[in-house]
Amino acid sequence: MTTILFGPETLNLAETTRMIEIARACGDKFRCEFFGYGGEYEHLIRAAGFTCHTLTPRLTPERAETLMKADRMEPGGKFFTTGELVARIKSELALYERVGPAAVVIGFTMSSYISPRAAGIPLVSVNPFALTRPFFEARPPIWGEMLRGTILGWLPHRFLNWAINSWGLRTRLWTRPMNQAAQQFGVRPFATLTDIFGGDYTLVTDIPQLTGVPELPPNWQYVGPIYARLEGEVPPEIAALPRDRPLIYLAMGSSANRELLVRVMRMFAGQPYTVIAPIKRHLAGLAAAAPANVHLFDWLPAHLVNPLADVAVIHGGQGTVQTACASGTPFLGIGLQPEQDINVLQAVHFGNAIHLNRYGLKQERVLATVHRLLTEPTFRQKAAELRQELSQWPGAANVAAFLQKQFNL
């Protein structure tokens, strides 16, 4: 049986579960195996019944945190060094020799933008549209809106849009260690940052109705949303909650900034809402008691719990945003980095969400936004419309169909 090898960055919950959903959709058409570096969510792969090869160098919790800070563009963040990338590539090449995959399917596993090319194996990149080359080439007029309330927000929006889109197409951020590693394995260098984030085939987990870009380059295609469907049922404690007050779903994904999360949680103290918050792991070790109306949980099957909410308050991770959209739940989105802000703003422009910048976030703005989402019927109407639209795009099944067609199954 043909083997497909999946390589999610297992420090990220959304990316790990996205690859699990694709492997499940492949059914018995392929032998689906995974590899990772011991990130926090690697265990979910084995729990789903798939083989997962743990490679070296192993990720320590401390290194995973500095990588997540780099992703969120926070102080203390540190991208992969050339040495780390080279070590990973060597481990991946050795695995390819043992497993013999027909293709490697990845999200943002940086070393795996190099290793399949060094081995002559087709690389399939499954990722959001935000911050890709076609995204910047479309010259999105969003940057002024995104930066409202920041130190750059006073600049004319036309200038911000021109400057940032031009920068996005030219920046060589992070390319130096990638190119130093690529050179050692005879792989063509990456001219710009956007050139990194594409495979031999690039499958985009968005829909054109949200991106506003109907046509993609050759070997690129939209597949639609892919988000986690964690095992388990709605806890009885949630089912038993009284519904005499609006129900708010508060979640910030696996990439949450703990300080921001605690601040937002405390904003709901004494408010006439019941809050479901699957954030218990983020509060571990913090002296941060939850308000009486905030009910804390560990991970929940968000695809089952989110539809129960009247409003969601979430970060901008694509999986979290797509879960809210597919549930028909209007939401307030607080992005932790540009890609997440873009995911939120796509929904804002559709009409089912409101975006607030995480910088200078104030209680009165958050509560006023939640009130608008609850009381202005247009948000729920547009949320229902988008839910119907997304139901026509079975993302994981579309990726599986692409793989079957590509390999003549």
What pLDDT is attached to residue 255?
Answer: 66
pTM, two decimal places: 0.94
Do 163 and 131 reside in the same domain of the chain?
yes
Do 334 and 198 reside in the same domain of the chain?
no
Residue 249 lies in a domain: yes
Do 159 and 301 reside in the same domain of the chain?
no
3-class secondary-structure state, position 86: helix
What pLDDT is attached to residue 231?
Answer: 82
Task: Please say whether the beta carbons of 289 and 269 come within 8 A.
Answer: no
Do 45 and 110 reside in the same domain of the chain?
yes
Buried/exposed code over 177-199 (b: 16+ C-beta within 10 A; e: otherwise): bbbebbeebebeebeebbbbbbb
What residue type is assigned to position 90 of the chain?
K
Residue 308 lies in a domain: yes
What pLDDT is attached to residue 283?
Answer: 78
Residue 348 lies in a domain: yes
The answer to whether the bond into 330 is cis (omega within 30° of 0) is no
Q: Domain containing 210 — which CATH number? A: 3.40.50.2000
Do 240 and 298 reside in the same domain of the chain?
yes
Residue 152 lies in a domain: yes
Do 186 and 286 reside in the same domain of the chain?
no
Break the chain down into helix, strand, coil percent, rounded to 5. 45, 15, 40
Residue 229 lies in a domain: no
**Beta-strand relationship, 353-355 and 331-333:** parallel
Q: How far is residue 269's CA from residue 337's CA, in Å, rounded to a whole number?
A: 27
Residue 35 lies in a domain: yes
Q: Which residues in 25-71 belong to E strands, given as ranges?
A: 31-36, 51-54
Do 160 and 33 reside in the same domain of the chain?
yes
Do 200 and 302 reside in the same domain of the chain?
no
Rounded to 5 degrees, φ, ψ at 190 are -95, 120
Do 102 and 184 reside in the same domain of the chain?
yes
Distances (CA, A) of 119 to 95, 175, 182, 225, 348: 11, 21, 12, 30, 42
Q: How far is residue 86's CA from residue 307's CA, in Å, rounded to a whole number?
A: 44
Do 297 and 372 reside in the same domain of the chain?
yes
pLDDT in tens, the chain (409 residues): 899 999 999 999 899 999 999 999 999 899 999 999 998 899 999 999 999 999 999 999 999 999 988 887 788 999 999 999 999 999 999 999 999 999 999 999 999 999 999 999 999 999 999 999 999 999 999 999 999 888 888 999 999 999 999 999 999 999 999 999 999 999 999 999 999 999 999 999 999 999 999 999 999 999 999 998 888 899 999 988 988 999 999 998 766 678 888 999 999 999 999 999 998 887 777 767 899 999 999 889 999 999 999 999 999 999 999 999 999 999 999 998 899 999 999 999 999 999 998 887 899 999 999 999 999 999 999 999 999 999 999 999 999 999 999 987 6
Residues contacting residue 97 through CB under 8 Å, at least 6 positions apart: none
Q: What is the Cα Rg of the chain in Å?
A: 21
> What range defines the domain where residue 129 resides?
3-224+393-406
State how many domains the chain has. Answer: 2
Q: How far is residue 166's CA from residue 314's CA, in Å, rounded to a whole number?
A: 30
Torsion of CA 393, 396, 401, 406, to 10 degrees: 120
Residue 301 lies in a domain: yes
Do 133 and 245 reside in the same domain of the chain?
no
The burial of 70, by beta-carbon neighbours within 10 Å (0-12 exposed, 13-18 middle, 19 or more buried), is given as middle
